[in-house]
Amino acid sequence: MSVLPIVQWPDARLSEVCAPVGSADLGSLISDMFDTMYAAKGRGLAGPQVGAMLRLFVMDAGWKEGARTPLVMINPEIMPQGDALTIKEMCLSVPEIIVPVSRPESVIARWTDAGGNPKEARFEGAESRIIQHEFDHLEGKLHFDRVSQSTREALEAPYLKALA
């Protein structure tokens, strides 16, 4: 197990749609992704954020407040539910930039777990938000893609200037 480097925006990989996961052994990658997420103090981490262009992510919504509840979603599908709420989001691939993002308050998710078992559940609150954020990464989207162009430009400008 090891901590992987996190891909930082504007790396082009963060704008690519990820490939479905086949029958590959993902045990080491999943362990490394959890190690990386916890070391970075995150609550979710998607494959492309560590350079693995596959449709999988790891998450743990409550570990900062209590016991760890790790969850792996492979080849997830989500169905947004309920009214949209605007909440400020951060992203490990765009450090220190906080973006107000409007997302549905809950989702029904279908995925395969690390053991190859199909799963389905409804998620609300922080879990729903994390799932939607990480799912966006699998679709080649960042939280910047969920705001107006003027808001995006205002948030991006200082970040891009610091990279120059």
Residues contacting residue 134 through CB under 8 Å, at least 6 positions apart: 44, 45, 46, 57, 59, 73
Evaluated on CA atoms 78, 18, 6, 25, the torsion sign reads: positive
Catalytic residue among 77, 120, 134, 153: 134
Is-cis flag, bond preceding 10, omega within 30? yes
Alpha helices for the chain (secondary structure H): 27-39, 125-138, 149-163
Residue 134 annotated among the catalytic residues of the structure: yes
Q: In the structure encoding, which two tokens stand for residue 132, read together?
A: 């939607």
d(CA 42, CA 34): 10
Helices and strands in the chain: count of H runs, count of E runs = 3, 5
Catalytic residues: 134
